[in-house]
Chain A
Amino acid sequence: MEYEFHWNIVFQKMPQLLNGAFVTLHVSVLSMLIGIAIAVLLAIAKMSDYKLFSLPATLWVEIARNTPALFQIYMAYFGLGAFGIHLSPYVAVLSALVFVNAGYLTETFRGGFMSIPRTQYSASRSLGMNSVQVYRYIILPQMFRRIYHPMTNQFVWSILMSSLGILVGMDELSGETQRLQSLSFRTLEFFMVAAVMYFLITKLVLFSASLVSQKLFKGDL
């Protein structure tokens, strides 16, 4: 059997698809920003000597890293209902992505921090810098270089995983595609366009990230 492609309907719906792509970017950027903020706190907590802080942080990290993202979205969307918390699809997907991002980024931050020898700290202190200066001028800049690339990857991962919003009826790119194809039955065409759009978004993000890194880390070895 031969399948006949009808692209017209897809191009007519382009504004909606682009809107969906915007929501995809929106939710992933937001999930990264909140995820980074939480991850900084979790990384500090995880390195703490007090079990009271390190244990919950470890628990968060391990749960986020060892369960499927789809499970976390279901947990946010259906599971929290048991506590009388009913999240909208957008908030459910956002909180699941924040949860995972924070978990993964904690390890990234911790690894980046640990990779800088403690001797640099003592050396800078002995040169007369105070603690804030050491972090501001010595430790954080080096750390940022090391975590930049993993952070970019995490961002790309967030974009790809936000496609799970399709399963809870969110209006990001996949969900919007699903809704539009169900109205026209041009499933193949719509999802092919969505695939191309995801590919382009990912490439665009990676390209701009490498441009930024060239600017930021100019003169590095």
Chain B
Amino acid sequence: MGSSFFTPLSWNDSGFILTGVLNTVTISLVAIIIGTLLGLAIGFIRAEVSRFSNMLLGGVLDVLRSVPLIIQLILFSTYIGAIGHPLDPFVSGSIVLSLYTMAFMSEVFRGGFESVQRSMITAGRSLGMSYWQTVAYIRLPIGLRTVFPSWLGVALSVIKDSALVSVIGYMELLRTSEQLISRTQQPLEILIGVGLFYFIISYPLSLYGKYVERKMSI
């Protein structure tokens, strides 16, 4: 076997893999947090404004959802480089992934806000609540309650999609594993490890999401 030309996988690589794991977790968390906040704001606006402005806003979000993430990442980092302000892969990756997350989150929250009956808000107003009080005490608590399973679904897909940030050079888990593969030539062991990592994060959370959904439907 020619495999003696390559150094096999050893414990010394664990630090390298751990960096990849941490980077994946970091960029996913950043994108989920920023994407949720932006999505919450935009979802609220979309449930609130007129049909026309809604269409404009919806069009922009639609582009974010209809162009593959990988193309968005390449376009953004190339554009930033071409106008002379190259950014760190982590920063450009976070920006693109957050906006991408936002596009999906805003739909989730919009649905939540629209599920709050108009009459409840009218009732709140007639009881002397201000506009923002109806938001804080009626729309947010009632609107957000039902969207948790869908929110979790989007968040989980962001963790999985964060693997794509590797194309612009961010050393997340899949890219570290790819480099290890090219050195060790042991693709199967490494990839199974990587798959297990994603699975261990994603599977319990998806079960929890299903559990909550079932509990809410009864």
**Interface pairs A-B: 5 shortest CB-CB:** A1-B84, A163-B68, A82-B188, A66-B202, A78-B187
Q: At the interface, yes or no: B206 with Cβ under 8 Å from chain A?
A: yes
Chain B interface residue count: which class? Answer: 35 or more
Interchain CB contact under 8 A, A74 and B178: yes
Q: At the interface, yes or no: A65 with Cβ under 8 Å from chain B?
A: yes
Interchain CB contact under 8 A, A198 and B70: no
Interchain CB contact under 8 A, B71 and A75: no
Chain A interface residue count: which class? Answer: 35 or more
Q: At the interface, yes or no: A67 with Cβ under 8 Å from chain B?
A: yes
Interchain CB contact under 8 A, B68 and A161: yes
List residues of chain A with CB within 8 A of the CB of B166. 70
Among A12-20, A188-196, A209-217, which stretch is in contact with chain B?
Answer: A188-196
Identify which of A62, A65, A74, A187 gathers the most chain B CB atoms within 10 Å of its CB. Answer: A74
Residues of A in contact with B (beta carbons under 8 Å apart): 1-3, 62-63, 65-71, 74-75, 78-79, 81-83, 156, 160-161, 163-164, 166-167, 174, 187-188, 191-192, 194-195, 198-199, 202-203
Contact of A67 among B63, B78, B83, B199 (CB under 8 A): B199
Bound together, the chains give a CA A68 to CA B71 distance in angstroms of 17
Contact of A66 among B75, B188, B199 (CB under 8 A): B199
Minimum CB–CB distance for B100 against chain A, Å: 11
Interchain CB contact under 8 A, B70 and A174: yes
Q: At the interface, yes or no: B163 with Cβ under 8 Å from chain A?
A: yes
Interchain CB contact under 8 A, B181 and A203: no
Bound together, the chains give a CA A189 to CA B198 distance in angstroms of 35
List residues of chain B with CB within 8 A of the CB of A156. 66
List residues of chain B with CB within 8 A of the CB of A187. 74, 78, 82
Contacts A71-B198, A75-B195; is A203 near B71 (CB within 8 Å)?
A: no
Q: At the interface, yes or no: B72 with Cβ under 8 Å from chain A?
A: yes
Please provide the chain B residues from 66 to 120 with a CB less than 8 Å away from any CB of chain A in the complex. Answer: 66-72, 74-75, 78-79, 82-84
Interchain CB contact under 8 A, A198 and B68: yes
Identify which of B69, B72, B75, B191 gathers the most chain A CB atoms within 10 Å of its CB. Answer: B191
Bound together, the chains give a CA A62 to CA B198 distance in angstroms of 11
The number of A-B residue pairs with CB atoms under 8 Å apart is 105
Chain B: which residue is nearest A83 at the CB level? B188
Interchain CB contact under 8 A, A71 and B163: yes
Contact of A71 among B70, B191, B206 (CB under 8 A): B191
Minimum CB–CB distance for B162 against chain A, Å: 8
Bound together, the chains give a CA A148 to CA B96 distance in angstroms of 31
Query: What would 24 A/B residue contacts be, using CB atoms closer than 8 Å?
Result: A62-B203, A66-B160, A66-B199, A66-B203, A67-B198, A68-B163, A68-B164, A68-B198, A71-B191, A71-B198, A75-B191, A78-B181, A78-B191, A81-B187, A163-B71, A164-B70, A164-B164, A167-B167, A174-B70, A187-B78, A188-B79, A192-B75, A198-B66, A198-B67
Q: At the interface, yes or no: B194 with Cβ under 8 Å from chain A?
A: yes
